[in-house]
Amino acid sequence: MQVYLVGGAVRDHLLGHPYHEKDYVVVGATPAQMLDLGYQPVGKDFPVFLHPKTKEEYALARTERKSGTGYHGFDFHTDISVTLEQDLIRRDLTINAMAMDDAGQIYDPYGGQQDLNNRVLRHVSDAFVEDPLRVLRIARFAARYTSAGFVIADETLALMQRLTESGELNVLTPERVWKETSRALTERHADVYFEVLRQCGALKVLFPEIDALYGIPQRPEYHPEIDCGIHTMMSLQQACRQNYSLDVRFAVLVHDLGKALTPVEELPRHIMHEERGIKPVNDLCDRLKVPTYTKQLALAVCKEHLKCHQAFNLKPGTLWRLLQRLDVLRRPERVEAFVQACECDSRGRLGLEDRAYPQAQYVLDAMQIVRAIKAQDLPADIQGPDIGEMLIERRIQALGELKAQQTVSIE
């Protein structure tokens, strides 16, 4: 019985990157032996066990054979005769197909260390095309490691295109697509994930609403980058640059989906694109089963982002109603996230990446002002429905005073 650390932990160890999750493969053992040693079984499809003390996962070495469609369509075989090399060859990338023993010796039968040194993401074998989830995983790895200079090998990208064309992406469950996508969105270069998916044709299959933005023109005086798809990726880059939350990054990703629905005769203007965007945002979120809060913020940003850009010109009552729709009294964090997403939209433009966005502080100041006005501050003789009416009146009055203090003119 031999135990090896495998996968991402070995890869990141060699790269000098921090890692927290550890996976192990056990060669030459039976399920009965693992149970006798106190390991707890957790796997249904193949024997995986939890260490009795650390609770880390230990999987018996296995081989696999394609038997159906999708990433569940495999038959697994475990036996004491299965070698480490046989187990590693079923993995996706060479840099993930390495193992390390307790003495620190590296086992690298498929050239993972060379690809690490050359900064190449390369598939281990042609069995890569048997698992459609690998298209998303490779795109996510590209997003994670692009800052270190990693690129996808041409032959691997070709296999990703082949997988896309096979139709197997359609069998991926919404939960799995969202899991990979949400993880990719938290990467430092999340935009690379979507660019890679577009390169291999998967963006059109899994995210047709985003793919449709490419080739749609915008007015160059406002959008020097012109293309809506490029603007979306530049905006997402801004969200990553500021290390904003997953919710903000997703809202930025979908904020302009309505522009793909602009009638051709209206281009490059996009009148009412906010309203047109509601349906595709809803469709995408419902299809992928996006979490409720994430969806709500995305819809708010889609529908209201122009109002944030125009904040200095809004009447006090209009600004109050915007804050109300954002649930300012109960969820101030939503207002903050909304402002962050709008800031990314403003800066996600060619040559304007570092421009000031004073509207952000103005809306946040407005949020603090209205939240500071409470019922207990009203005269004691104000009762019943009059309380709500006077609170609104005072909040709008306070926003009027804030507006009067502003000297910044926004076109």
91 is in an annotated binding site: yes
Rounded alpha-carbon distances, angstroms, from residue 77 to 60, 110, 177: 10, 21, 27
Question: 135: Cβ–Cβ under 8 A, 6 or more apart, which residues?
Answer: 160, 163, 164, 169, 197, 200, 202
Q: What CA–CA distance (Å, rounded) separates 225 from 348?
A: 9
CB 285 within 8 A of CB 207: no
Rounded alpha-carbon distances, angstroms, from residue 375 to 139, 308, 354, 372: 52, 27, 41, 10
Task: Give long-range contacts, CB 8 A cutoff, 24+ apart: 330-335.
Answer: 332/367, 332/371, 334/296, 334/297, 334/300, 335/363, 335/364, 335/367
DSSP character at residue 89: T
Q: What CA–CA distance (Å, rounded) separates 236 from 231?
A: 9
400 is in an annotated binding site: no
287 is in an annotated binding site: no
Which of these, 130, 135, 124, 6, lies nearest to 74 by C-alpha position? Answer: 130
Within 10 Å of residue 49's Cβ, how many Cβ atoms? 23
Which helix (H) or strand (E) covers residue 116, if one does? helix 112-118
Q: Where does residue 17 fall: left (phi above 0), alpha (psi -120 to 50 degrees), or beta otherwise?
A: beta
CB 281 within 8 A of CB 301: no
11 is in an annotated binding site: yes
Radius of gyration of the chain (CA): 26
Within 10 Å of residue 237's Cβ, how many Cβ atoms? 20
Tokens found for residue 200 = 């291999």
Which of these, 133, 128, 193, 192, lies nearest to 168 by C-alpha position? Answer: 133
325 is in an annotated binding site: no
Tokens found for residue 3 = 């135990």
Annotated binding site for ATP: 8, 11, 91, 137, 140
Annotated binding site for CTP: 8, 11, 91, 137, 140
Annotated binding site: 8, 11, 21, 23, 91, 137, 140
Annotated binding site for Mg(2+): 21, 23
